[in-house]
């Protein structure tokens, strides 16, 4: 698979990484352990080298799953994990942030144990904590880098001011935020800022939490613990309205002889050479489909056609429920 460099100070990884959250958290019941391990190892066999996890996924169990799956090849892989939420009694309240320096250090030590490794390749602040100066966060990670526990510093869903302030203390290697055919907000300020500062960009949900693949419609039933049941963009009414976008993506995919998912991923990859999307899946056939997107070439005319289609097909519904939207872009 093509290799890409995450930022000017970063490291080379596969053009597509694997977002591991859905194996343990967020989209219904966790997959059986053996299935999760098999999927991660299949990704390794197919050239994936960047794997994304977080202590809050599970919580804790996703890091443990990834550790077991990568045990034999750990030194050839790049593991990204995150801190920033308060987790009590094996449950996480995603409204409670905690990026106090002492908490960051505790989380890193615990993640290292769960990941069965002596270093974290890329450590993200999961969400900016308004109660802790970002300079203190960056300084703490800088110390952890100096101690050899962390290799690179990242931010997730941070706003431009926080990125600049953090970067002045400890260079930010990568920014992780949502970006896809149906969420292009990063193009306004974030992507230009990444280009200016030499920061790599890691889009999560590049397939629109599954919607852009065409596998979801207004009749789809989600399990009660599926995050999408709380997302306005996934209300039945919004799904019905947004079906027009999926149909138009399908028409473009048919002309190219590929799938909707491959068009969606190829479009993200085509935006900049320092963008590394991390689509997630629980199924081998979807993994193979997603990875094949790295071989799809979009011409200038293809990009122009897609941009026109997006301009003519506005997306309905907010991407987060209100309480979570307040945590993004700080």
Residues noted as catalytic: 57
In terms of Cα–Cα distance, which of 107, 103, 127 is closest to 115? 107
CA distance 159 to 20: 24
Cβ neighbours of residue 101 closer than 8 Å, sequence gap 6 or more:
132, 136, 137, 139, 140
Tokens of 48: 């994936």
The interaxial angle of helices 300-312 and 236-256, nearest 10 deg, is 160
Cβ neighbours of residue 260 closer than 8 Å, sequence gap 6 or more:
212, 213, 214, 246, 249, 250, 253
CA distance 237 to 232: 9
- Taking each continuous run of H as one helix and of E as one strand, the counts in the chain are 11, 11
Kind of pairing between the strands at 91-97 and 50-52: unpaired
- CB 126, CB 202: distance < 8 Å: no
Query: Could you count the other beta carbons within 10 Å of the beta carbon of residue 243?
Result: 15
If DSSP codes are grouped into helix, strand and coil, which group holds residue 72? helix
Tokens of 55: 């202590």
């Amino acid at each position: 698979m093509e290799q890409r460099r995450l930022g000017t100070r970063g490291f080379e990884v596969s053009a597509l990484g694997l977002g591991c959250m859905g194996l343990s958290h967020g989209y219904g019941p966790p997959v059986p352990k053996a299935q999760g391990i098999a999927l991660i190892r299949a990704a390794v066999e197919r050239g994936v080298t960047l794997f994304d996890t977080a202590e809050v996924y599970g919580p804790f169990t996703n890091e443990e799953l990834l550790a077991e799956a990568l045990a034999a090849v750990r030194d050839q892989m790049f593991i990204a994990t995150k801190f920033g939420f308060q987790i009590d009694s094996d449950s996480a309240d995603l409204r409670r942030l905690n990026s106090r320096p002492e908490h960051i250090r505790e989380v890193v030590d615990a993640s290292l144990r769960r990941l069965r490794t002596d270093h974290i390749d890329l450590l993200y602040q999961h969400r900016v904590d308004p109660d802790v100066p970002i300079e203190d966060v960056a300084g703490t990670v800088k110390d952890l880098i100096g101690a050899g526990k962390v290799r690179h510093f990242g931010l997730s869903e941070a706003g431009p001011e926080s990125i600049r302030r953090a970067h002045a203390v400890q260079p930010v290697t990568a920014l992780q935020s949502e970006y896809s055919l149906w969420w292009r907000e990063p193009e306004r300020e974030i992507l230009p800022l990444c280009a200016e500062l030499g920061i790599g960009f890691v889009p999560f949900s590049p397939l629109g939490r599954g919607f852009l693949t065409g596998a979801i419609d207004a009749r789809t039933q989600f399990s009660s613990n599926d995050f999408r049941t709380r997302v306005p963009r996934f209300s039945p009414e919004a799904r019905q309205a947004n079906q027009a976008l999926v149909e138009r993506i399908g028409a473009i995919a048919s002309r190219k002889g590929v799938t909707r998912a491959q068009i969606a991923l190829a479009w993200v990859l085509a935006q900049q050479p320092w963008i590394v999307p991390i689509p997630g899946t629980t199924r081998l056939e979807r993994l193979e489909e997603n990875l094949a997107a790295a071989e799809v070439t979009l011409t200038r005319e293809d990009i122009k056609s897609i941009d026109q289609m997006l301009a003519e097909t506005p997306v309905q519904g907010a991407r987060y429920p209100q309480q979570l939207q307040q945590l993004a872009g700080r």
